Structure 1
Amino acid sequence: MDKLSNTQCKLLTNYVDKLRQNIVQSSKMEEWIIMLRLHYKWCLGDRISQYNQQFIQGEYSDLRTRASASPLTCFVSKNGATGEPWKDTKNSKNPRRSAGDIQITALPQLKTARPWYAGIDSTVLQQNVKRLDIAYKNFFEGRGFPKFKNPSNFTSFTYTMGMKSSGSKIYLPKFGWMRFYNSRPIPDGFRVKAATIRQRQDGWYVSLRIEDKTVPDVVARCLTEVKSVIGCDLGIAKLVHLSDGYQLANPKFGNNKKTFGFLKIRQRRVSRKVKGSNKRKKASQKVGRLHKKIADKRQAYQWWVAKTITSGRVDAIALEDLNVSGMLRRCRVKRDEETLRFLANGQSRKKGLASRYL
């Protein structure tokens, strides 16, 4: 190969800013999160039950009750996630519809049966179904099966149409104009392609995905033009070791003595509160804010490290291909089949590795 691997300029980028919503807008966003989470769970349950009735349960509608499958004991197949999967073959090159397309087509029926869903923007509901499609795609690629969401891991929704930005204000359909901390103005030539509203421990944030199609592609350099290369090696005591001898420190924001003490105290306060009480909820929010502070510090430091490495006058950067998540993962348990005793699996040698990386 006489050229480096082909790369293109990243035309898409995200700007994250904190919203300054009023009380009405804040309560409305919380209601949307609850309704969208229930809609996500219903769509997932619809796909699971439809698959079970078609391919697993056989002649039974319910394995627990042993009820026979009939229109009186289970829903008709065409009303499920995989029912009526065919489009008009005359106007479509790919006539078969996916489960996501069928559920998106059924959204008007959802708004008729559940009128309160009519207050949610249509693109937000469509993106909610596509979110489940992405989860299924990840499952087919070897990741875990989609899970039913709970309030702690379902905290966002996405717009794809109707957004407008003007100075320190942003217009969101069904919400109107909303103020936000415009820390980085959108550059000229970029347009807002999508907006994700996310609830975090200290408030609501908007992530604007902006795009500029006029930026030309990056032309890969020939290997003959590369004169200087710097290598990066991931360390433990130090975060990064560079081939020129320079080392970048590892502050360990989540594992230093002061932060660990604060986290220990706040977690102990949560455990002492009555489950389901308001005081336990407030104590949990303090723990979440501390975790967010640690994550923000770590992310800011990583951006500083990336800027330090890329600001050097070199033509290329060589990185080590490490499976860090595999290095930090616990080793599989080994047992003797005859004595059923646990065998050595190398976990003791990896005992302190995870804590050193934090």
Structure 2
Amino acid sequence: MRISYQYRLRPTKLQAIEIDRWLSMMCSQYNYLLADRCNWYEQNRSPINACPLVCHLPQLRDNPDYYSQKKTLPQLKKTHPWYAEIYSQVLQDVVKRVKVTFDSFLKGDSNGKRSGRPRFKPRSRYRTFTYPQVKSGCLQNNLINLPMLGKVKVVLHRDLPDGCKIKTVSLTKKADGYYLTLSLEDSTVPEIKADFNPHKITGIDVGLKEFLTTSEGETVAIPQHYRKTQKRLRTIQKRVSRRKKGSNRRQKAVKQLGKYHKKIADKRKDFHFKTANALLKKYDVIAVEGLNVKGLARTRLAKSVLDAGWSNFLSILTNKAVNAGLLVVTVCAYNTSQDCSSCGEKVPKKLHERWHDCSHCGCGLDRDHNAAINIKNRAVGHPVLKAQLMSEAIAGVSEKPTSYSTQLV
């Protein structure tokens, strides 16, 4: 299993200048290789529904694939000697990035979903380069030895896990400095607990009134990091718009704006990690909804949905559960807020109606609490949970909860 650890770098002034120079050169090379692929695409295609009967057929070019573009690097170092100062494998990784970008445009991902036409990167948008291979023991104490950069100081705020091997190293320039990302191979991944406590199962419903509500009725307040800082962000954004484009004063204002946005993102990420840790310490199995967050981000609630960061939170929760040997179950989100958690009858409600009141069985509780209970009940149909709960019921080890009875029959 691959895990990633990120640390802050403290390069010297000369090392910082060298990193910036590498990024600038690799950005130019990325755009050149991407232009070569785009030219091939334009010169070798002809739309069937718009092709004239009589037309000139140009000489077709060979497809500039990964290996053919990789073979151009030795010639590049002869015509442009300053590229020889970049570590060879780092430069080869630029070719790989172009390949991945263009393949996602032509072929799509594993699900067949294609991305948009790749765009050229301005210098400010090319911020990362990668060492595909590093020597074992490259990280000693608080120094990491990187080829052709030397020993760079690292702020080791946490130790690397035992038994992990460093596979790749990435350097990223962010608004507030430089960061190091270590991709580690961990062979000691715990298996999912086979003897989880059936009483330590919960369902969570994420929302905009409360960040999440559990099936036990507990709530976590939504922090709204972005909305609370909008006034300050508006002031800094005005400062950027009033500066002359290309001036040093505008660059300083843009840097200040980037730092403030990163501060907001870091606060949100810290909140997500702490909330996920609190849930996993308390429960063995957590059921969540399979939300279409991209669809919700195109509605009038876009700012609030993106400020809450549901996708990032669910991704963090799932990854931490896997590392801890716990289970996160995704269930269908259809009608979790409309169905009654007590009798199963559908009780139609509009979005502004926050109270669930069932006229069939008399059940009355908060809308999000009702949805969380429905999510928990739907999770019982998961194969791992169903087998465990059935064995517990047959053995008589624990009393079967009422909410499970209809699911196990």
TM bucket (normalised to shorter chain) is 0.7 to 0.9
C-alpha separation in 1, matches of 2:56 and 2:90: 37
Whether contact under 8 Å (2:208, 2:305) holds in the other structure is no
1:118 equivalent among 74, 79, 84: 84
Other-structure match for 1:170: 144
Contact 2:175 2:255 in 1 (8 A): yes
AA at the equivalent of 2:148: K
For 2:39 and 2:257, how far apart are their aligned partners in 1? 38
Contact 2:205 2:213 in 1 (8 A): yes
Deviates more, 1:105-114 or 1:120-129: 105-114
Q: 1:213-267 CA deviation, whole Å, 9 max, x = no partner?
A: 3x156257489x75542001111011111111111111111111xx212111111
- Give the Cα separation in 2 of the matches to 1:351 and 1:288: 21
Distance 1:107 1:43 in 2: 11
Which residue of the partner structure matches residue 66 of structure 2? 100
- Identify if the C-alpha distance between structure 1 residues 355 and 146 changes in structure 2 by more than 3 Å, giving closer, same or farther: closer
Matching residue of 2:298: 329
Distance 2:152 2:308 in 1: 40
Aligned to 1:30: 20
1:265 corresponds to 2:228 = no
1:152 is matched with 124
Residues 283-322 of structure 1: matches in 2 within 5 Å? 283-312=253-282, 314-322=283-291
For 1:324, give the aligned amino acid.
V
Opposite residue 118 of structure 1, the aligned amino acid is A
Distance 2:245 2:84 in 1: 35
Structure 1 CA distance for aligned equivalents of residues 264 and 36 of structure 2 = 39
Displacement over 3 Å in runs of 4+:
66-70, 219-223, 225-228, 350-358
Q: Are the equivalent residues in 1 in contact too, given 2:205–2:212 (CA < 8 A)?
A: yes
State the match for 2:31 in structure 1.
Answer: 41
Alpha carbons 2:144, 2:154 under 8 Å: kept: yes
Instruction: For residue 168 of structure 1, report the CA deviation from its aligned partner.
Output: 0.4
Distance 1:152 1:182 in 2: 27
Does residue 20 in structure 1 map to residue 2 in structure 2?
A: no
Of 252, 255, 280, the match for 2:250: 280
Letter of the aligned partner of 1:30 in structure 2?
Answer: D
Shift of 1:120: 0.8
2: CA distance, partners of 1:355 / 1:43: 34
Taking only aligned residues, the RMSD between alpha carbons, in angstroms, comes to: 2.6
Q: Given the alignment of the two structures, is residue 161 of structure 1 paired with residue 126 of structure 2, yes or no?
A: no
Gaps of 5+ in 2: 48-54, 310-409
TM superposition shift of 1:53: 1.9
Query: In the alignment, what sits opposite 1:92?
Result: none
TM-score, L = length of structure 1: 0.76
Distance 2:44 2:216 in 1: 62
Percentage of identical aligned residues: 32
Corresponding residue SS for 2:227: coil
TM-score w.r.t. the length of structure 2 is 0.67
Aligned residue pairs, count: 295
Tell me the CA shift for residue 277 of structure 1: 0.8
More helix by share: 2
Q: Deviations over 1:162-221 (max 9, x none)?
A: 3510010001111011111111121221121111100011111111111123x1562574
Secondary structure of the 1:152 match is helix
Among 221, 229, 242, the residue aligned to 2:214: 242
SS in 1 for 2:217: coil
